Amino acid sequence: MKGTRQFRCFMAVFSLIACATLMAPSLAGAAPAAKAAAPAAPAAPKESAPVAKATIALASEDCAKCHPVPPADIEAAGGKHKSDVSCLDCHASHRPATQNNIPKCSNCHEGKPHFQLKNCMECHKNPHKPLNIVLGPKVTEPCLTCHADQIKQLRENKSKHSALYCSNCHDVHRKIPQCVKCHKPHSAEMTQADCKKCHKAHKPTVVVYGQDVPNKDCGACHKAAMNLLAATATRHKTVLCVKCHKDKHKMIPDCTQCHTKLHPAAILKKFPKCSICHSIAHDLNNWPAGKDGAAAPSAKPAKEHKKK
């Protein structure tokens, strides 16, 4: 009986050892699985490297997005600032990349006396409308750098115009003022278009006229001569004033310039001057009888004029 009990105990212990041995691999494999099922701890963030900012190039079209007025001015009256350059040609950069992106006029405009003047903005108020020039009340010297011919005429032919500032008449650049704004016409029929037939603004006292100026224009100043000519019955009545007085104003021609067939020498010797018999050119051959029956002129012979 004792041996049987010992054998049973032995078998029970053996079974326990065998079960434990068989279950050990399963228990060993279950542990990693359980461990893997546990939530993983978050990884510590790594410090990221600084990202370089991308540089975006501006285009001229971008300027109008913030600056609508200058492009509109250039479109309306930009001149060569519209056709030859763009916004970025003048304004090469933008703040804050540069502290001052307003260019100097001399960056492009050089090589002429006018470009050497100081303070361009005194006349060219808006660089986006460069030819919309605003002149002050007493401006002359800046004008001379471009308009040399005009000042030469004024200085060589002295008149009241020579003492004026250019901007007295040309208060707007390229404006041609009307003479009748300051000067009363010679007659009520005359208009601005008639003034320039005889007068040039920069030498107004040098009167030069064409061969088609009508007699009424001359008669506006020379009334006495015009009245005599209108009343005469000779061919001179139909002749234009400018045909005889053609060289220049106040020029008195010789009769022989037109009348080449002269009287016989004996008559010319006795009457050496045409006016002795023919009175004056505007009242030709008007010799009514005097008190004693002798011929007497109706008008005094013209005074001798020195040729000019």
Contact 295, 301 (CB under 8 A): no
Residue 216 confidence class, pLDDT cut points 50, 70, 90: very high
Average pLDDT rounded to a whole number, residues 155-184? 93
**Rg over CA atoms, the chain:** 54
Residue 201 confidence class, pLDDT cut points 50, 70, 90: very high
* pTM score, whole prediction: 0.60
Q: What is each CA distance from 133 to 36, 67, 73, 74, 121, in whole angstroms?
A: 86, 23, 14, 14, 9
What pLDDT is stored for residue 22 in this prediction? 52
What pLDDT is stored for residue 126 in this prediction? 94
Q: Side chain identity at 172, as an amino acid letter?
A: V
Tell me the per-residue pLDDT of 42-72, one tens digit each, with 9 for 90 and over: 565 566 666 556 667 788 888 989 999 999 9
Q: Could you tell me the sign of the dihedral formed by the alpha carbons of 291, 292, 293, 299, in that order?
A: negative
Interatomic CA distance for residues 228 and 222, integer angstroms: 10
Interatomic CA distance for residues 204 and 164, integer angstroms: 13
What pLDDT is stored for residue 293 in this prediction? 40
Average pLDDT over the chain, rounded to an integer: 81
**Pair of tokens at residue 142:** 């800046």
Q: What is the secondary structure of 59-109 as a DSSP string?
A: -HHHHHHH--HHHHHHHHH-THHHHT--HHHH----TTT-S-----GGGT-
What pLDDT is stored for residue 288 in this prediction? 58
What pLDDT is stored for residue 233 in this prediction? 87
Helix segments in 78-232, DSSP class H:
80-83, 87-90, 141-144, 148-156, 166-169, 192-195, 215-219, 223-231
Interatomic CA distance for residues 36 and 33, integer angstroms: 5
Average pLDDT rounded to a whole number, residues 219-236? 91
Residue 308 has pLDDT above 70, yes or no: no
What pLDDT is stored for residue 142 in this prediction? 92
The CB-based long-range contact list for 135-140 (8 Å cut-off, 24+ gap) reads 135/166, 135/167, 135/170, 135/171, 135/172, 135/173, 136/167, 137/165, 137/167, 137/168, 137/171, 138/165, 138/167, 139/165, 139/166, 139/167, 140/165, 140/166, 140/167
Q: How many residues belong to the chain?
A: 308
Residue 34 has pLDDT above 60, yes or no: no
